[in-house]
Amino acid sequence: MKTYVTGANGFIGSHLIALLLERGHSVVGLVRPTSDTRSVQPLQGHASGLRLVVGDLTVPATLGPGLEGVEVVFHLGALLMGTSEADFQAVNHHGTRNLVAAVRATSPNARLLYASSLAAAGPSPSAEPIDEQAPYRPVSWYGQSKVDAERYLIGLGDAIPWTIVRPSAVYGERERDLSGSTFPAIQMGLRPRIGVKEKIVSFVYVRDLVEGMLAAANSAAAVGKVFFLSNPQVYTSTQITSAIESAMGPRFRLPMVTPQALLSVVGTLAEWAHFFTRDRPMLTRDKAREVKQRFWACSAASAKAVFNWTAATTIEQGMVHAVSDWRQRSAAMAALDVPARERAVQTYVLAVAFGFVLESVASLGNWYAFTPHWLVFPVIVLIFGLVMGTASFLTAKRSLALQFALGALVGLSAELANAASGMSFWHFSPFPFGWIHNDWIRAVAVGLPAGAMPPIMTALVRSLYAKRRRLG
């Protein structure tokens, strides 16, 4: 069977292509001109049935080549971490329209499997999993763009044989979001948690997911229908963290609760970093709106009933593979020996810029005020740039735990020094920290998150260096 896969080099796309090749199918994979194709390079070779073509979902003229004679189109290409609603609509909604037009013009009898998302349905009202009959309730630009693409396909009727699948949260080898944030924190000896209340989430291991996609594409009964693809069991945030901890090995871990109010700040900072590295941001303000939701539970019972698919991998089993892969990737990144002079310049510049963005967000949110007002500039240059930059530079080749510890020490010391001075160079507003009257508790609440800055700075510098080497 000849297949066509958009988003070929992506996390899910690369796993789907591997499965298709295993099953003896030929694959044409669509990649953008600037795509990093390292994820599919091991799948290419003399005897491989994989051919990559260059195109862009937002440029209709580039989508025709490679579609000739295709029997099944797997449309996985999407923008997940955009910074504007228009960007999501251009790729996820209008890009789908462009692809369908190209398919109908080139291979009108081809089957189309569209990878939507649980984000289109939106969060579940409670811990009870929703099914495909639930109304659309997206809370993000990403989710709305998927809704619009779904409605377009559904509106086509039988003009093209389509099937829509909505994966829940996906994890596994080469995943970058969960492994890029939660894994390092747990490795450092922390037990991270977002918000005080337990979250309920549907998860699916990537290998199970792509098998479900292929089963749906091969099922005549699935044409013209929508399916959730997820594990039968829903998981609490504690169960997910425990599965990661188990895969990493037993040790004492300090609980750390991240206030949900900080997610938008982190998203803003990550978007800012994106403009420096041009890499996919770890978090955005749009994604933060999704992460803040308490319930993301869905049922894949319909997939079981229609094409006999059930996710077989438990989260404990899947996390063993995901953690092993993350450790290999982390070791490869840590082995990059960025020249000291280049590392120093980039670290200090990024540290000052980091401080500027953070203080700007704090000012807009009216979190605290400096006395006198101009004191914010020495704080940005001296505390963020000089002190935190130096901490980041000196610990760049040390463990994540040491990087975090030194950053947290800087943040804690700054807060305690401000409280002990009797002058209070910065005064906290009631929200989000002013209601904490104990100086020590407030210093911990404000200063401890500063521990994330050295690891972030180190990761950004290495990312810039790795990207320059790859493109150069």
Domain CATH number, residue 92: 3.40.50.720
Among the residues of 228-364, which ranges form H helices? 237-248, 261-277, 285-291, 301-307, 315-334, 340-364
DSSP 432: I
Please state whether beta strands 26-31 and 2-6 pair in parallel, antiparallel, or not at all (unpaired): parallel
DSSP-assigned beta bridge partners for residue 295: 200
Q: Which residues of 184-193 are buried (b: 16+ CB within 10 A; e: fewer)?
A: bbbbbbbbbb
DSSP 193: E
Q: How many domains does the chain have?
A: 2
Same domain, 246 and 275: yes
Last residue of a domain, one of 271, 295, 330: 330
Give the other-Cβ count within 10 Å of 407's Cβ: 26
Same domain, 224 and 286: yes
Same domain, 316 and 349: no
Which domain does 86 fall in, by range?
2-330
Is there a contact between 269 and 354 (Cβ–Cβ < 8 Å)?
yes
Is there a contact between 366 and 430 (Cβ–Cβ < 8 Å)?
no
What pLDDT does residue 469 have? Answer: 60
Same domain, 223 and 77: yes
CA distances in angstroms from 44 to 62, 325, 452, listed in the order given: 22, 20, 38
* 258 backbone dihedrals φ, ψ, rounded to 5°: -95, 115
Same domain, 198 and 165: yes
Please give the radius of gyration of the chain, using alpha carbons only, rounded to the nearest integer. Answer: 24
The dihedral over CA atoms of 369, 371, 372, 377, expressed in degrees to the nearest 10, equals -60
Same domain, 303 and 402: no
What pLDDT does residue 470 have? Answer: 55
CA distances in angstroms from 433 to 302, 367, 379, 426, listed in the order given: 46, 7, 19, 12
Is there a contact between 400 and 455 (Cβ–Cβ < 8 Å)?
yes
* 113 backbone dihedrals φ, ψ, rounded to 5°: -110, 120
Same domain, 260 and 283: yes
**What's the CA gap between 94 and 148, in Å, rounded?**
9
CA distances in angstroms from 388 to 221, 396, 398, 468, listed in the order given: 59, 12, 15, 25
One pLDDT digit (tens) per residue for the chain, 472 residues: 999 999 999 999 999 999 999 999 999 999 999 888 889 988 887 567 999 999 999 999 999 999 999 999 999 999 999 989 999 999 999 999 999 999 999 999 999 999 999 999 999 999 999 999 999 999 999 999 999 999 999 999 999 999 999 999 999 999 989 998 899 989 988 899 998 899 999 999 999 999 999 999 999 999 999 999 999 999 999 999 999 999 999 888 888 888 887 788 788 877 877 776 667 777 899 999 999 999 999 999 999 999 999 999 999 999 999 999 999 998 887 777 888 889 899 999 989 988 988 888 888 878 888 988 899 999 999 999 999 999 999 998 888 888 999 999 999 999 898 888 776 788 888 877 778 888 888 888 888 889 989 988 888 888 778 776 654 3
DSSP-assigned beta bridge partners for residue 229: 167
The answer for residues whose C-beta is within 8 angstroms of residue 184's C-beta and 6 or more apart is 330, 400, 455
Same domain, 110 and 241: yes
Same domain, 318 and 437: no
Same domain, 446 and 320: no
Same domain, 362 and 296: no
The answer for residues whose C-beta is within 8 angstroms of residue 242's C-beta and 6 or more apart is none
Last residue of a domain, one of 309, 330, 351: 330
The answer for residues whose C-beta is within 8 angstroms of residue 340's C-beta and 6 or more apart is none
Same domain, 313 and 179: yes
Q: Under DSSP, is residue 167 helix (H, G, I), strand (E, B) or coil?
A: strand
* 434 backbone dihedrals φ, ψ, rounded to 5°: -65, -20
What pLDDT does residue 472 have? Answer: 34
Last residue of a domain, one of 298, 330, 362: 330
What pLDDT does residue 432 have? Answer: 74
